[in-house]
Structure 1
Amino acid sequence: MSPAPRADSPGFRRRCRSAAVRALALATTATAALLFAQPGQTPYPATPLDARPVAVTDRQMAVPAAPMGWASWNAFAAKVDYDVIKKQVDAFVAAGLPEAGYEYINIDEGWWQGTRDSAGNITVDEAEWPGGMKAIADYIHSKGLKAGLYTDAGKDGCGYYFPTGRPAAPGSGSEGHYVQDMTQFSRWGFDFVKVDWCGGDAEGLDPKTTYQAISDAVTQATATTGRPLALSLCNWGYSNPWNWAPGMGPMWRTNTDIFFHGGTPSYGNVLTAFDRNVHPTAQHTGFYNDADMMVTGMNGLTAAQNRSHMNLWAISGAPLLTGLDLTTMSADTRSVLTNPEVIAVDQDPRGLQGVKVAEDTSGLQVYGKVLSGTGNRAVVLLNRTSTTQNMTVRWSDLGLTNAAATVRDLWARQNVGTPGTGYTTGVPAGGSVMLTVTGGTEQPAATYNGTASFSGVGAAGTGLKTVDVSYTNTSSTARVGILTVNGQTPTKVSFPPTGSTPGSVSVQVGLTKGAANTIAFSGVPTLEGIVVRPLPGTDAALVTGTQSGRCADINDNTITNGTDAQLWTCNGGLNQQWSYHSARKELVVYGNKCLDAYNRGTTNGTRVVIWDCTGGSNQKWNVNADGTITNVNAGLCLDAYQAATTNGTKLVLWSCNGQNNQKWSLT
């Protein structure tokens, strides 16, 4: 099922199919159940996993982890009723998924055919849903599970525009009834609502303001009923929700659908969804990038691909929402979905996202995730090539010193060595290996004292850094504040209760090389200070224009292929962090997008854009000693158009002329 074609997703605009859930936080060393609700609605735990007296910044507070559960769409599309869901609930329990940490049963599209009574309340066919929707929510709850439901942000839902299984009648969206519908869902007993975007897209609604109104309605519904209702924002990554969705709800979709009902899941689509989901500065303190519902165990993926699928979602801390028919799930699929060590990485209570830390050879990618505790990391070695390759993770790329650490293979479920500088292993073609590195020694960190704004923050290199924020929150609920770094797009940060003893939460931020960085908070509880920890594997460079003093930038953190590169005030954000791979001559941003001469152009004025890295000569650049950067295919220079120096000036190719608008420094 698909809306109209879109340039960045040839042939299809896929609608959101992951279901919504509340979260369960699993510690890497202990299991801790946490309520996953809108910040400020439900108390977070007031004690950390380890309550021994420690230094302020060592007392890490567990944050709500990414949701885990099952959703109906992949297996059943719009053909759902009480009996279908009941059978899945029973199979879910029989398979032992609750014991592994999965707890949500989510009813996707098809439950509601768009009718309302004279008061505007949703009505359902009680021949399909005996006892109404409250009855199925009650059955889900009777098994110790949580229940999720589905609607659309527009007047008409996806089933009206793109019927799959059966069409929906007009009016199957919640526009004009946000407070009424959210309150009704809560009164029925649902714990989570996923709000899709087919109607919103068709009507041209603004995603940010629309989802803010829905988030406000969820807050009001919770205040009315006393039942927390967690919100999943599902607008397919349009309008860059990683910029504004944190704090509106616990999760937001970052990309189009992996899978079309009636088709066959593709491992290529799994990789694409993973690539589009990496927005590490947005994911923290209980707010998560959602890469879409998993297709693990469905026809089309091999056993090795199923494991890689799980590895990639876990290293990125994505929601683990499976969508297969549980009544026919194989023992092998069950073993993949319930691997406790992989799940523990996904559910790590520090709540950070893993990022690419090395790609020495094209297609041999190393991802690292900072885990709770000190000196602990998760690693995925991903081989995207067509042959088996030896791959190495270096401790230095993980922000660890060359000290002994314990390496564990999470699928072999055994330790595989305690080397001093790194670990090397063979990785099959198209496959992956998942490891934990524990007991390592953190590279030296810098501590800054203060209460709200920290200036003069230093970084050895431009790139992503981990920041531990020490604070005291003596209230019974989380407090949400605003974090701004170097004038970058602000993000909301949640501070769980600490009791009277300070604790810390972690975020990842983009800093520039040197000591001119500023990390500022507003609307937060009492702060004690921050600790900035390096992640050298993510070091990059600012590409700074000699004439303008401004940096090569991708507007608004956009990841869409064909987005123009431009000049903007240097701030060290992810959209300004460029890695130059001298052997491949690629300038890479976001870890997977290459600076590209559009359509292989070779004439003056050719647009310079970002595109998925292909290895083409139009994505190869020579960084020259005279400060120029020349495109290998065109032989032309990277140029600030018309020698302009203002924010938003487009970058183009132009005949090399030695002028300062064609000279750049990489710092």
Structure 2
Amino acid sequence: MPFGRTSVTHWTRPVVVQALILSLALAGLVALGGGRTPSAALDRTEPVAVTTNQVAVPSAPMGWASWNSFASSIDYNTIKAQADALVSSGMAAAGYKYVNIDDGWWQGARDSNGKIVTDESLFPGGMKAMADYIHSKGLKAGIYTDAGKQGCGYYFPTTKPAAPNTGSEGHYQQDMQTFQEWGFDFVKIDWCGGDKEGLDQETTYKAISAANDAAAAVTGHKLVLSFCEWGTGNPWNWGAGTAPMWRTSTDIIFWGGSPSSANMLANFDKTLHPSSQHTGYYNDPDMLMVGMNGFTAAQNRTHMSLWAISGAPLIAGNNLTTMSTTTRDILTNSEVVAIDQDARGLQGVKVAEDTKDLQVYSKVLSGTGKRAVLLLNRTSAAASITARWADLGLTTASASVRNVWTATNAGTSATSYTTSVPAGEAVLLTVSGTEAAGTTYEAESSSNTLAGTAANATCASCSNGSLVGWIGNSSANTLTFNNVNASASGVKLATIGYVNGDSTARKATLQVNGQQPTVVSFPPTGSWTTPGTVSVLVGMAKGSTNTLKFSNSTSWAPNLDAVLLQDIAGTNGNEIIGVGSNRCLDLAKNTIVNGTQLALWDCVGGHNQTFTSTSRGELAVYGNKCLDAYNSGTANGTKVIIWDCTGGTNQKWTVNSNGTITNNLSGLCLDAVNNGTANGTKLDLWTCNGGTNQKWTLN
């Protein structure tokens, strides 16, 4: 039932769970008119049917950008030729719509009013003429700036001399409005100036987002924002609700360099933040290197597979006018693109690594029991890799398997599927099976709490006169789902049932336990009597004390009905809880930086507190970082940090029956410094002494 009724009632009934389906009370969904409380709002009749209406969320942007192939050597004719080729090659028809002009288009001149002046010897008619041409091909136009006073071309000149004053700092709204007036649809905002000036990433980019909104209020033409601060400010914590995409790593290729599988894998690893990517917001591992000199066809296919399983923006960087048929076919493979662009908008997660560097990733797709599965071989020899259905959140019943790149059905298999994967390559599959059971939590339940001045009220002042659940026009309204149970710590699939009869998306902030909150977007469902669902991936702690709190501060939100929680068993791990502190090993602000020292913090069940014990004796977090004795130290006081998993003995640990955890290289105990129990207490190695600061529970 949608919450926001005139009373809160506890429903007693058996939980009915079908694959990715929420039991929504169709008769009770609120249809509004004139600020009246509709009679449907009083109807307690159980629905006969349940909804399977998974609402499509905005997909990750697809297109082409100039930097990888041309650096600063760009002009009207160069961009025109690439736009023409995007269409003639069939890439536009495959979904590649954006033509993004990167650094080098502007040399920093402004007029007396501070407005950007374009060099019309390079772009005759100015940038509006360029955008107009791109639009004439049925495409969308993208442009570039920097968050600082100086752009990247000033600090790192390539094919042109250093150009000062090529950033937007001090002109955020003016420049956003200028780009909008020129007709551009997309803007990439780099971070070279911001980095050199020591600006705060979150504050700066949120100011640019607000400037884009303010400019659009004048022009009516809002830009798609691409934040490019290279992951330095943990944008996965604050990007959702601020921009559709944000970079999670440094450039995948530097000008003058060659494509590198090492860089490709590094950028892929750094983009895996599954709770941040949902409902139209995307982690961005940078532009594609597919088709650039130095990559084989097999490497190009692996590259596309990695970006597709992570649901990343697909921004090609090769020269489209000279690309081979093989490159074109790789970039436009319809099954691969469909995985990347899946309407559910989720990110793949690692679900198995039985043998080091033989990895299995799974992405939940739209529909029932649908998964994309990537088998990745990072070793130098061919090897067999197995995907187990239970790890994917499916039952062990028979499932059909399809090899995406060969476009062949691989048959039907019970329990699992195994195939050989060549050295350094990947096999991309789709799997159709049976969803494992989950649990539905109703909004109208005695275990859940509804709070706020507009709760249970008809909103007569709303623009559509609707009953809007707990939100109204107040900032003090929340709905909390309490006593949410997880059989193990790990990633869960949360499918949220809601109604949004408006013509635009409504938003609410979701916070799981005490983790970093994220803004969830709820697209229109068609009417106030039409239910729909969107999905997010959430990290939860083992046990029944988890909470999911939805709230809002400035915008209208949808009516929420229920949440279905399903396990993705291959992600399950443990919180490591101090006996003396009752606090968890934690990485502050979900950082992924090598060398970050672990600390104690209140247990919240996030990805930054969930550790997987591998068959090699490692304790891995985020799926690809290992608990590590700094610099292979063996002395008392050696810092305990995270580092890329290397297989070293300093990354291997023994969990002992007496509650201690000892490092296999030194034999020293995992230790809370100075017997500390407070949040922020650092972790190190120390001679085992039996203290409670050296005893741990894996939950």
Superposition TM-score, scaled by structure 2 size: 0.87
**How many Å separate the matches in 1 of 2:294 and 2:641?**
34
Which residue of structure 1 aligns with residue 550 of structure 2? Answer: 521
Residue type of the alignment partner of 2:538: V
**How many Å separate the matches in 1 of 2:491 and 2:72?**
42
The structure whose Rg is larger is 2
How many residue pairs get aligned? The number is 613
1:126-156 Cα offsets, whole Å, 9 max, x none, are: 1111000001100000000000000000111
Residue type of the alignment partner of 1:618: N
Which residue of structure 1 aligns with residue 610 of structure 2? Answer: 577
**How many Å separate the matches in 1 of 2:607 and 2:382?**
32
Q: Is 1:623 paired with 2:617?
A: no
- Out of 275, 279, 289, the position equivalent to 2:269 is 275
Q: Is 1:454 paired with 2:487?
A: no
Q: What is the Cα deviation at residue 302 of structure 1?
A: 1.6
Q: What is the Cα deviation at residue 659 of structure 1?
A: 1.1
Which residue of structure 1 aligns with residue 332 of structure 2? Answer: 338
Which residue of structure 2 aligns with residue 472 of structure 1? Answer: 499
Which residue of structure 2 aligns with residue 421 of structure 1? Answer: 415
1:435-477 Cα offsets, whole Å, 9 max, x none, are: 0001x11111100011621000011110000000111111111
Q: Contact (CA 8 Å) 1:388, 1:426: kept in 2 or not?
A: yes
Q: Is 1:557 paired with 2:590?
A: yes
Q: Secondary structure of the residue that 1:135 maps to in structure 2?
A: helix
- Out of 585, 592, 599, the position equivalent to 2:631 is 599
**How many Å separate the matches in 1 of 2:645 and 2:374?**
20
In the TM superposition, what are the counterparts of 1:115-264 in structure 2 within 5 Å?
A: 115-264=109-258
Q: Contact (CA 8 Å) 1:56, 1:502: kept in 2 or not?
A: no
Q: Secondary structure of the residue that 1:424 maps to in structure 2?
A: strand
Q: What is the Cα deviation at residue 171 of structure 1?
A: 1.0
Q: Is 1:503 paired with 2:524?
A: no
Q: Secondary structure of the residue that 1:123 maps to in structure 2?
A: coil
1:571-599 Cα offsets, whole Å, 9 max, x none, are: 10000000011x31100000000000001
Q: Secondary structure of the residue that 2:360 maps to in structure 1?
A: strand
Q: Is 1:488 paired with 2:543?
A: no
**How many Å separate the matches in 2 of 1:454 and 1:285?**
20
Residue type of the alignment partner of 2:235: P
Which residue of structure 2 aligns with residue 444 of structure 1? Answer: 437
Which residue of structure 2 aligns with residue 49 of structure 1? Answer: none
**How many Å separate the matches in 1 of 2:686 and 2:117?**
62
**How many Å separate the matches in 2 of 1:642 and 1:167?**
54
Q: What is the Cα deviation at residue 99 of structure 1?
A: 1.1
Q: Secondary structure of the residue that 1:187 maps to in structure 2?
A: helix
1:73-108 Cα offsets, whole Å, 9 max, x none, are: 000001110011011111111111011111010000
Q: What is the Cα deviation at residue 228 of structure 1?
A: 2.4
Which residue of structure 1 aligns with residue 682 of structure 2? Answer: 650
**Structure 2: gaps spanning 5 or more residues:** 1-46, 445-478
**How many Å separate the matches in 2 of 1:96 and 1:526?**
41
Q: Secondary structure of the residue that 1:265 maps to in structure 2?
A: coil
**How many Å separate the matches in 2 of 1:656 and 1:634?**
11
- Out of 638, 658, 667, the position equivalent to 2:670 is 638
Q: Secondary structure of the residue that 2:413 maps to in structure 1?
A: coil
Q: Secondary structure of the residue that 1:493 maps to in structure 2?
A: strand
Which residue of structure 1 aligns with residue 84 of structure 2? Answer: 90
**How many Å separate the matches in 1 of 2:273 and 2:71?**
29
Which residue of structure 2 aligns with residue 533 of structure 1? Answer: 566
Which residue of structure 1 aligns with residue 96 of structure 2? Answer: 102
**How many Å separate the matches in 2 of 1:55 and 1:492?**
30
In the TM superposition, what are the counterparts of 1:338-357 in structure 2 within 5 Å?
A: 338-357=332-351
Which residue of structure 2 aligns with residue 31 of structure 1? Answer: none
Q: What is the Cα deviation at residue 224 of structure 1?
A: 1.1
Q: What is the Cα deviation at residue 546 of structure 1?
A: 0.7
**How many Å separate the matches in 1 of 2:498 and 2:683?**
43
In the TM superposition, what are the counterparts of 1:307-326 in structure 2 within 5 Å?
A: 307-326=301-320
**How many Å separate the matches in 2 of 1:209 and 1:56?**
43
**How many Å separate the matches in 2 of 1:54 and 1:608?**
55
**How many Å separate the matches in 1 of 2:77 and 2:104?**
14
1:393-426 Cα offsets, whole Å, 9 max, x none, are: 0100000001122100001101111111111111
**How many Å separate the matches in 2 of 1:606 and 1:561?**
15
**How many Å separate the matches in 2 of 1:283 and 1:56?**
26
Residue type of the alignment partner of 1:376: K
1:148-189 Cα offsets, whole Å, 9 max, x none, are: 000000111011111111034221100010010000000000
Q: Is 1:659 paired with 2:691?
A: yes
Indicate the larger mover: 89-98 or 356-365: 89-98
**How many Å separate the matches in 2 of 1:262 and 1:361?**
36
Q: What is the Cα deviation at residue 54 of structure 1?
A: 9.6
**How many Å separate the matches in 2 of 1:335 and 1:647?**
53
**How many Å separate the matches in 2 of 1:55 and 1:70?**
44
**Structure 1: gaps spanning 5 or more residues:** 1-52
Residue type of the alignment partner of 2:256: G
CA 1:322–1:449: 2 relative to 1, 3 Å? same
CA 1:55–1:312: 2 relative to 1, 3 Å? farther
Residue type of the alignment partner of 1:648: G
Q: Is 1:362 paired with 2:391?
A: no
Which residue of structure 1 aligns with residue 41 of structure 2? Answer: none
CA RMSD of aligned residues (A): 1.0
Name segments (4+ residues, structure 1) moved above 2 Å.
Answer: 53-58
Q: Secondary structure of the residue that 2:292 maps to in structure 1?
A: coil
